[in-house]
A = this chain, B = another copy of it.
Amino acid sequence: MSTSQPRRALNIDNINPHVKAAQYAVRGELAVRSEEYRAALAKGEGKDLPFDTVIAANIGNPQQLDQKPITFFRQVASLLENPLLLEHEDVLINSLGYKSDVIARAKWLLKEIKSVGAYSQSQGAPGIRESVAKFIERRDGYPASSKDIYLSTGASSGVNTLLHVIAAKPETGILVPIPQYPLYTATLSVLDARCVPYYLEESKSWGTNLQAIQEAYDKAVSEGTDVKAIVIINPGNPTGASLTPADIKAVLKFAAEKSLVVMADEVYQTNVFIGEFVSFKKALRDLQKETPGKYDTLELASLHSISKGMVGECGHRGGYFELVSFDPEVAAEIYKFISIQLCPPVLGQCIVEVMVNPPKKGEPSFELYNKEYTNIFEGLKKRAYALYEAFKQMEGVEIDEPQGSMYLFPTIKLPAKAIKQAEKEGRKPDDFYCFRLLDATGVCVVPGSGFGQKEGTLHFRTTFLAPGTDWTGRIVKFHKDFMDEFRE
């Protein structure tokens, strides 16, 4: 036996360096500090704090804030969880207000899945994948097949799966928009593959700029990067930008020319205030019709989620991706990869089903569903515009009209003195600003550096989910005080 001193196997210097390198600011140090404030206030220990509530505007988590779940979805879910309730249909209907379509849907789903406590096929329950395919057909006007649908544990696990399969070697590169949702850069770090950043055009409402994409691609290739895919987030996160069909087609043409997989992150597809959402799948099928043959092998993976939209069921971890034109052998590897984690949460799969197949006009639950859905949509829009109006008044803040998603991403111009102070404290200027905001107001936002931003520009991302206008007022007051403090 060795007599050496006991020592730990793992320390910060010998664990996986790629995990260490990953950055994920949405739940980083700021979020942790905001949770500490929240816990202190809950225990009555926060008497010294200059605020009495913490506002989590850092993450799109509607039900942690004001948003109520959609009744139809949750009534169905309650029956899936306790199918014994179905032995009391009279009580459900007469005493609890359940409608017949709730009961019918629950029965149908139970037939498809047998139990929410049973593993499903790794790709998701076949009947639910059928529903998703039909939804895509209705949305796009083009056929879809349940064989190409892969249910996932939120869209995040879908992204994780796709990047795992694509990232063949350290030279593999993926074009990622900047600013971006940091899931992409973090996962590429873990996989030791290359993020090939392309900048979105802030001056054009954060749209894609094909020249910027081309330049990013060329630069990467010249550096020996094997660029295999391009990520598009539409509507944008953190930007809210909604792409036009022309923009989408331009990206598809570029991808076809360079043989790139297109990863279309479309989780905010119903959060659109201006214009209309057009899916990459529809745009691709349109292109294929316009130019037969030319785009037949263009691979597209399109992702969706139950966490966003008017559904907001983040905690249920449901989502799906559709594969278009993937080589069957590659699809088989994707299947094997996801099978190692057995299957996505089955109740999350069921919530996907009710999301893509909600009550229709004339059905008993439609009226309430429609009212709830519309109220959530209007509420989000109203808050987005209220926040926008507040930001417009703030000195040194530039902001576009809200277009969609759940976020605003204003530019902030900070005084040189503030930037110097940030440097002194070892923080990036936007980090410094956001910490000051949190410490002064309890409002937690995410600095632009967490998403990436052009050198020399500063931003922050805030959700517009929190109820009331008090917290908006807190930001306005803080900003004024901050600017006054650091004015030269």
Contact = CB atoms under 8 A, between A and B. Distances in A.
17 contacts: A6-B293, A6-B297, A8-B326, A9-B260, A10-B326, A11-B327, A16-B166, A61-B119, A69-B117, A74-B81, A91-B96, A117-B313, A118-B314, A154-B341, A187-B340, A315-B346, A315-B347
Given A8-B326, A10-B326, A69-B115, 5 more contacts: A11-B329, A15-B166, A63-B115, A154-B342, A183-B340
A457 interface: no
B10 A261 contact: yes
Interface in A290-330: 293-299, 307, 312-317, 325-327, 329-330
Contacts of A259: 6-9
A337 B22 contact: yes
A183 B340 CA distance: 6
Contacts of A117: 63, 69, 312-316
Interface of A: 1-2, 6-12, 14-17, 19-20, 22, 24, 26-28, 35, 39, 59, 61-64, 69, 71, 74-75, 77-85, 88, 91, 95-96, 113-122, 126, 153-154, 156-157, 160, 164-168, 183, 186-187, 190, 228-229, 256-257, 259-261, 293-299, 307, 312-317, 325-327, 329-330, 333, 336-337, 339-348
A91 B95 contact: yes
B16 A167 contact: yes
Copies of the protein in its oligomer: 2
A277 B340 CA distance: 27
Contacts of A337: 19, 22, 190
A373 to B, nearest CB: 15
A336 B22 contact: yes
A135 B199 CA distance: 50
Nearest to A160: B341
Nearest to A254: B1
A85 B39 CA distance: 29
A376 to B, nearest CB: 12
A340 B307 CA distance: 15
A6 B295 contact: yes
Contact of A229 (B9, B22, B64, B339): B9
Contacts of A7: 259, 297
A155 B79 CA distance: 26
Given A96-B85, A298-B6, A118 B15 contact: no
Contacts of A164: 16, 19, 190
B153 A153 contact: yes
Contacts of A316: 116-117, 345-347
Which 7 pairs from chain A and chain B are nearest by CB?
A: A315-B346, A78-B82, A77-B81, A27-B339, A64-B118, A63-B115, A63-B118
Nearest to A114: B64
A28 B340 CA distance: 10
Nearest to A82: B78
A342 B330 contact: no
A77 B88 contact: no
